[in-house]
Structure 1
């Protein structure tokens, strides 16, 4: 496949380079790119190939999408991940007596510490909404984890299974947020296959949390609520921080699903339970799911959006008094402002709604760009506010408002 060439990236690269405190020589050396190439790119004399964009982004410790002009889409690299993921999903249950030749990048597996480090990287990419990086990394990693599960020593199998669940979840972040519901459901099936091999109830809780996406996609919210409540019944009941966070995350998810089902009483009960558990743990990441008092506050806004009229004032009051701190994952902070923007739009405050969407974009551009509500609300704002068209039009074009989702 020919490399994609992006135009107009020079000013963004120069800006990010200066913010990072690097000279052009430093950037060229770190990216493994010729100094003349960096100079020409920044002067706008040449475009940037997909490979060079990735190398420069890695050198600047940022996602490639942050270096693209607003009207460019970095989705090609995400699309390119889909066939590789499909190949893994077609063959992950390969027989135990031999390597899986259908999987991409077939070959020997790295040692467990290297696999653990690789999975930690894709989890970090997910939490910071760097989906392009996941797209180019996770298909080969999942294939390698499948091979490791076939051949690893029995005492290491539990850990490899946990790593496979975490890697599947990172891949699912790409699939689900891009609207590839069938691929997302297949990745969740792979998680459900790997989880029992981990023999860890916390891993089972993670899978139950993520599996709710199937019900979001299908609109079967009452069924999803029942599944989460069953998962809560099976979750560990001890007072270890990990167990408290596991139950709290499930309660947060259940509150949102109950709200989508229009069940305000159940939503309130689960939010109360999540608050009580959140007061007992510090804000941290459990299995890649942030949980703690701040995460619960964000979910209060989510529930208000789900329940609609009669609950919007509560969300607006919370937003006046509190903002998500920077130590929360970027994906979650961006989600807060996306949902707040929807509440503000419904409350007749279009200017405030547009500001919230712009904040969501600054925090996690790929997350905001791919979010269905951002597209819907940007299109609505564009219709309501034709007079100040320029910045709103630019934003709407950036997120492809009005595009099918």
Structure 2
């Protein structure tokens, strides 16, 4: 099975580019490109996005995502695909009470947060169809509330398909969130939907448009707790955008702004952001890895502490980053230990994340003899070394 480095080398040759030409177009060093192609360095998300853009292919073309996780996930994605294809003409069904719909949406959000993304995708089509029914049958405040819930459900759909690697489904989900946000009873949902779109644009390396959307979201924030959460989350999104451009100072400036907001908001999951001091700290380590010093990211990331009720998917993502940092620091055994922490925290997310596979391939390349622990992890992942 080809890894990202092998796919990059193949696509580069098809495009008729030398390694220096591709490195220049992607704005990365020649040594980094060579290391990734040879399997000595794991490809970061930002590196993959930049190289994919330079090669005029999608990041998924280089990572091989989405990965096969069995028939239940495929069936769930297929049902959601049909719903998204129907768009604003979605077949509506009897909605029932608004309060019941709100409770079901909260339950779906909890599934997502607890690393049960497939179950989230399974729950969404029926829920969204009933929310369409509520929008069509309601009026006044009830209709506005139904539009808020429908917007939130489409954003949740976008997050879910992005996590499972089905990026092409993210775009119609975002368009539908944008469609219903203007009629929501919470005016911040328009900005929240824009931030979700910015994250997809960052994934594709379109940093300029992403920055415009992020700035517009920051401009709409106010001094209420929800407003500060939106502003803080926007700054974390901006930090990732700057880090992907290798602007370390710019990324840190946004993290600093987010930290200021977090001191006022505390830990909260308003708008499903999991925003607060912990998320800011996790982003700090991610920025160090992406655009700063990987060895520092590895050392400081290992010391992360968190409450027992922290979102497991957020914690797993941190350990996935920490694993890559250790690998880039020349410590493959510590990288594998971090991957096992990610697996323990959120196995479904860890199994589906492209960066995990790249780190596994990198560990295999770095180890003189592949350990039983690595072979077992690769087998669980479904990766062939």
TM-score range, shorter chain: 0.7 to 0.9
Bigger fraction of residues in helix = 2
Correspondence for 2:151: 165
Q: Specify whether residues 314 and 384 from structure 1 end up closer, same or farther in structure 2 by C-alpha distance, changes over 3 A only.
A: closer
* Secondary structure, counterpart of 1:125 in structure 2: helix
Question: Does the Cα contact within 8 Å between 2:298 and 2:326 map onto a contact in 1?
Answer: yes
Correspondence for 1:256: 240
Which has the larger displacement, 265-274 or 84-93? Answer: 84-93
> 1:386 deviation in Å?
5.2
TM-score normalised by the chain length of structure 2:
0.78
Q: Do residues 293 (structure 1) and 277 (structure 2) align?
A: yes
> 1:402 deviation in Å?
5.7
Correspondence for 2:136: 150
The 2-side partners of 1:264 and 1:319 are apart by 17
Select the structure of larger CA radius of gyration: 1
Q: Of 72, 79, 88, which residue of structure 1 is paired with 2:74? A: 79
> 1:133 deviation in Å?
1.0
Q: Of 130, 135, 151, which residue of structure 1 is paired with 2:121? A: 135
Q: Do residues 236 (structure 1) and 216 (structure 2) align?
A: no
> 1:285 deviation in Å?
0.5
> 1:199 deviation in Å?
4.3
Q: Of 77, 96, 116, which residue of structure 1 is paired with 2:102? A: 116
The 1-side partners of 2:185 and 2:148 are apart by 9
Q: Specify whether residues 150 and 402 from structure 1 end up closer, same or farther in structure 2 by C-alpha distance, changes over 3 A only.
A: farther
The 1-side partners of 2:362 and 2:178 are apart by 39
> 1:138 deviation in Å?
0.9
The 2-side partners of 1:174 and 1:76 are apart by 17
> 1:208 deviation in Å?
2.3
Correspondence for 1:273: 257
The 1-side partners of 2:384 and 2:171 are apart by 26
> 1:275 deviation in Å?
0.9
In the TM superposition, what are the counterparts of 1:35-54 in structure 2 within 5 Å?
Answer: none
Correspondence for 1:9: none
The 2-side partners of 1:126 and 1:202 are apart by 22
Structure 2 alignment gaps of length 5 or more: 1-67
> 1:323 deviation in Å?
2.4
TM-score normalised by the chain length of structure 1:
0.74
Correspondence for 2:50: none
Correspondence for 1:384: 366
Which has the larger displacement, 80-89 or 134-143? Answer: 80-89
Correspondence for 1:44: none
Q: Do residues 206 (structure 1) and 201 (structure 2) align?
A: no
Correspondence for 1:349: 331
Give the alignment's Cα RMSD to 1 decimal: 2.0
The 2-side partners of 1:126 and 1:237 are apart by 28
* Secondary structure, counterpart of 1:200 in structure 2: coil
Question: Does the Cα contact within 8 Å between 1:255 and 1:266 map onto a contact in 2?
Answer: yes
Moved >3 Å (runs of 4+) = none
The 1-side partners of 2:111 and 2:317 are apart by 16
Q: Once the two structures are superposed, what CA deviation does each residue of 1:80-118 show, in whole Å capped at 9, x if it has no partner? A: 122322222233323xxxxx5xx3xx5311210110111
> 1:204 deviation in Å?
2.2
Q: Specify whether residues 402 and 212 from structure 1 end up closer, same or farther in structure 2 by C-alpha distance, changes over 3 A only.
A: farther
